[in-house]
Structures are given as C-alpha cells and as structure tokens.
C-alpha cells in the first residue's frame, strides 16, 4: 500500500484543501495522511476566518509521520504565511521525501486570499526548490513570474521562467483560461508537453487544483512516471469536475464518488501490503 501525505489547509466545507486531497487518495486506493497547516472556516461562497497552526505543531505533525510511517509521495497545498513556510521547508530539508508535488495556493475559487501577499518571496525562496512538480494556475504563475498570461505562448513563457528559478517540472494549469479546451502545460526544463481536455461548462470547480495535485502525487507514488501520473490525474480531475456537485451558493465542489477501475485508471490493490 502506497503512503501519501498532504501538507495543506483544512476546508471545513469539504470541497478543497486536506479534505479534497484525502478523498482523492482514497479514490486512488492509497493510504492518506494529513498535516494540517491552517484551519480555514470557509464554504463555497466565502472565507470567514483562517487560523494558522503554530510552527511547533506543524513540525510535530511532520515528525509524527516520519518517525513512524514515512511516505511514498507528498502533496503540499495552502501555506498561508512565512512561519508556516519556514516550518514546512525546514522539515522537508530534514526528511527529503521522494516525489513532492507543490500546489502554490494563493486564492480560493471565490477570490478570497489564502496566502499573505508578502509571503510570495518566501514561497519562491524556501519552498519551490523542493518541488519535483509545481502546479500553479494562471494567476499564481503570473504572481510568481510577474508576467501577464493571455495565451498558450504566455503559459509556456511562465513555465520557462519558473523552471529558471530552480523548479524541476512546472505544470501551468489552464483552468482559468478562456476557450473550449482546458490545456495544461508541463515543462521539464527542455521540452513542453500538453495535456488537453474539453472544457466542461460548469461553475462548480471548487477544489480542482487540490484534486489534481493530489492525484498527480498518488500517480507518482504508484507509477514513478510523471507523464503517466499527469495523464491519469488529468482524466481523474476532468471526471471529478464532470460529476461536480451543485451545492452551496458559490462554486460547488468536485466529486470523487466513482470507481477508477471503470475509467481505465490505475488504482493500487488495497489488499496488497507494502
Ligand atoms: N471547466 C473546466 N473543464 C475542464 N477542466 C477544467 C475546468 N476548470 C479547470 N479544469 C482543469 O482542472 C485542473 C485544475 O486547474 P485549475 O486551473 O482550475 O486549478 P486551480 O485554479 O489551482 O484550482 P483551485 O483554485 O481549486 O486550487 C486543470 O487540469 C484544469 O485544466
Ligand atoms: C484550505 C484550502 N486550500 C485550498 C483551496 C483552494 O481551492 P479553491 O480555489 O478551489 O477554493 C481552498 N479553497 N481551501
């Protein structure tokens, strides 16, 4: 059984954050664990408050995982301020986990900020270098690079600039672009690869980025192959959006109900021991 860890924020409404990550891990048939960095009182429409967990307790949670169980891959989501980033960065350096997927969460789908504005420098300096794959959406790629993204060519340029900052693989997600297709661009420092699906006509995309990055992490643990992991994760997130729920007054959540086997996706055998 592969062991997956998410280090992220808790979304009490269940659509994004730790909750989306654990649902994705279950659908992939892997064992999910979580380090909660912030407790976010949020729903589909708004963020009411954010309580960051202290750096000591963030560190203790990470120690608790590595002194006892360990991981086959790690997904990192919302890190809201310098202190959270420093605590997580310090522990990543100590434990050097295999397969780190980082989703540089900055805003919720409803526009509420989830990362302090002045923490982006710390994110770039202390966290991004640990990424085997970084998965910015278009606004996040714009914030990290300072360029405006209005086309596939701009997405490619942003991916190159982020790779120049020392990130091994950059996956710029096209969910926020316009047009009939949702294209994501993967850059490995040499070549661009394109992952495209038809855009689904829905407002219910709360948690898509969390779902996608967790699926990539699970796929990496299962296959050891980034291209295969992204291909499967793209199919997974597209199906989760297709079956998204019209609940709440804002963007509704992705849904993880289905059996991956039925969709031809790889799932680990839950009866097999490590
Ligand atoms: N309407 C849609 N139809 C099909 N695919 C979509 C749609 N919206 C987003 N996607 C896909 O979902 C994945 C997540 O991309 P997106 O840009 O939405 O991430 P995100 O903004 O970081 O998500 P979040 O805000 O939930 O963290 C990508 O593969 C993207 O192409
Ligand atoms: C705790 C937490 N982490 C991440 C997101 C981003 O997801 P979305 O942009 O879909 O709201 C979120 N809303 N809450």
Structural domains in the chain plus CATH codes: 3-258 (3.40.1190.20)
**How far apart (Å, rounded) are the C-alpha atoms in residues 74 and 53?**
19
Q: What angle do CA 54, 63, 66 make, to 5 degrees?
A: 145
Tell me whether residue 271 is one of the annotated catalytic residues: no
Model ipTM?
Answer: 0.96
Q: Of the ligands numbered here, which is closest to the C-alpha atom of 77?
A: 2
pLDDT of residue 111: 87
Selected catalytic residue, list 71, 89, 91, 210 = 210
State yes or no: pLDDT of 263 exceeds 80: no
**How far apart (Å, rounded) are the C-alpha atoms in residues 235 and 228?**
11
pLDDT of residue 110: 84
All residues at 6 or more sequence positions from 259 whose CB lies less than 8 Å from its CB, including other chains: none
Tell me whether residue 205 is one of the annotated catalytic residues: yes
- Note the pLDDT tens digit of each residue in 135-182: 999 999 999 999 999 999 999 999 999 999 999 999 999 988 888 999
Mean pLDDT of 233-248: 94
Under 8 Å between Cβ of 23 and 243: no
Prediction pTM value: 0.95
Pocket of ligand 1 (CB under 6 A): 16, 105, 109, 137, 173-176, 182, 184, 197, 199-200, 202, 205, 207-210, 212, 234, 237-238, 241
Q: Where are the beta strands (DSSP E) in the chain?
A: 3-11, 31-42, 47-52, 73-76, 100-102, 133-134, 170-172, 181-187, 192-198
pLDDT of residue 271: 47
236 SS3 class: helix
- Note the pLDDT tens digit of each residue in 106-148: 999 888 999 999 999 999 999 999 999 999 999 999 999 999 9
All residues at 6 or more sequence positions from 43 whose CB lies less than 8 Å from its CB, including other chains: 12, 13, 248, 250
């Amino acid at each position: 059984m592969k062991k997956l860890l998410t280090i992220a924020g808790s979304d009490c409404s269940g659509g994004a954050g730790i909750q989306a990550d654990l649902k994705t891990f279950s659908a992939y048939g892997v064992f999910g664990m979580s380090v909660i960095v912030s407790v976010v009182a949020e729903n589909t429409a708004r963020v009411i408050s954010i309580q960051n967990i202290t750096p000591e307790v963030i560190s203790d949670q990470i120690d608790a995982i590595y002194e006892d169980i360990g991981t086959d891959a790690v997904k990192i989501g919302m890190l809201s301020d310098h202190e959270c980033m420093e605590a997580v960065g310090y522990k990543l350096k100590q434990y050097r986990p295999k397969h780190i997927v980082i989703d540089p969460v900055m805003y919720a789908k409803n526009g509420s900020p989830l990362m302090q504005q002045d923490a982006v420098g710390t994110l770039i300096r202390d966290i991004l270098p640990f990424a085997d794959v970084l998965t910015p959406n278009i606004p996040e790629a714009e914030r990290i690079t300072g360029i405006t993204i209005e086309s596939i060519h701009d997405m490619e340029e942003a991916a190159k600039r982020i790779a120049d900052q020392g990130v091994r693989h950059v996956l710029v997600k096209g969910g926020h672009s316009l047009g009939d297709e949702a294209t994501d661009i993967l850059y490995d420092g040499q070549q661009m690869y394109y992952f495209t699906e038809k855009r689904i006509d829905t407002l219910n995309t709360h948690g898509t980025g969390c779902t996608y990055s967790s699926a990539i992490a699970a796929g990496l643990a299962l296959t050891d192959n980034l291209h295969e992991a992204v291909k499967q994760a793209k199919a997974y997130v597209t199906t989760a959006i297709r079956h998204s729920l019209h609940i709440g007054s804002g963007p509704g959540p992705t849904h993880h109900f289905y059996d991956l086997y039925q969709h031809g996706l790889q799932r680990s055998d839950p009866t097999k021991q490590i």
